[in-house]
A = this chain, B = another copy of it.
C-alpha cells in the first residue's frame, strides 16, 4: 500500500543536513494540510496528546467506541493506537479501527505502551502488530517486547538502550511487519527500508519528567504519516525531530517539568523551518547489508 518515495542519499555515519531540510518541508506540509488524527489512546495522556496535535497544526479526535472507531478510521487522515489503558471497550475499538485503517489505506501508528509482562496490552499489541502498522513507536523495551524479542520493562520506562532494539527493528521493517520503527530514547532511532538507521539526538531530559512525552510523539508521527504517503521512515524521522527540537527549545526557557509543558506546546506551534534546520542533530547510517 505504501509505495516508496524518494529518500535522500545517506552518507554513512556522517551528518545528514538533507534530513533537516526534509523535516522542515514535512512540518510545513502538516501545517498546510492540518491532518485529522484519529487517536485511540490511554486516558492518562488523551488531553496532552490532543493539545500536542492542535499545537502542531493538526486536528485530533478521540473516537474509541465500537461501531464508531472503524468508520472514523476510514475517513481520518491517520490513526494512532496506544495500548496504555486497555479497557475492554477501547480494546475492541482499537482492533476495529486498525482493520478499517488497513482496508482504507489510512496510515497508522502502534504505540505498545508498557507491553511485556502485562498480559492484556501485550496480547492486544501483538494482535495489532499482526495487522501491519505503518509505524511502530515505543521505547526500546516496548519495541523489543512487542516484536517478541524480550519480556519488556517494568511499567512505562525502558530498561534497555535504544541500540539494543536496532536489530529487531531492522528485521521487522525489512520483513514488512511494519513500514518503519521509531525507538525513543536519549537519542531516538528511526529504522525503515531505504533510510537505514537514522538517529535524532535532539530532546531534553524533561520529556521524561512529564507524562505523555512519548505517547504524544506517537500522535505526532501519525500526523506526519498523513503528509508522507508511502514513506513512513521520513514521517518517523521528521516527527521525531520536530517533537524533540520543540522540546529542547522549551527546556531552555523552562523552570522545571511544570512550566516545560505549556512552553513545549508554544514551541511546537511556533517552530519555524529555520528553527528545524538550525537545531536538528540528525545522523544517518547506510542500511545494514544482509548476510
Contact = CB atoms under 8 A, between A and B. Distances in A.
Nearest to A209: B54
A103 interface: no
B55 A156 contact: no
21 contacts: A43-B62, A47-B48, A47-B212, A50-B211, A54-B211, A59-B156, A59-B157, A60-B156, A64-B87, A65-B85, A65-B121, A76-B155, A87-B89, A256-B267, A257-B266, A257-B269, A258-B264, A258-B266, A258-B268, A258-B269, A259-B266
Interface stretch (A66-74, A94-102, A221-229): A66-74
A87 B254 CA distance: 37
A25 interface: no
A119 B67 contact: yes
Contacts of A151: none
Nearest to A121: B68
A262 interface: yes
10 closest cross-chain pairs (CB), A and B: A258-B265, A256-B266, A258-B262, A50-B211, A61-B155, A258-B266, A256-B269, A44-B46, A259-B262, A68-B118
A109 to B, nearest CB: 18
Nearest to A41: B44
A9 interface: no
A210 interface: yes
A84 interface: yes
Contacts of A269: 209, 256-258
Given A65-B86, A88-B89, A258-B267, 4 more contacts: A36-B154, A43-B43, A44-B50, A68-B121
A89 B117 CA distance: 20
Interface of A: 36, 42-48, 50-51, 54-55, 59-68, 71-72, 75-76, 84-90, 114, 117-121, 154-157, 208-212, 254-270
B155 A36 contact: yes
Contact of A71 (B68, B118, B209): B118
B60 A211 contact: yes
A120 B68 contact: yes
Contacts of A50: 44, 211
A55 B89 contact: no
A51 B88 contact: no
A281 B84 CA distance: 40
Contacts of A60: 156, 211
A61 B114 contact: yes
Contacts of A51: 210-211, 257-258, 261
A58 to B, nearest CB: 11
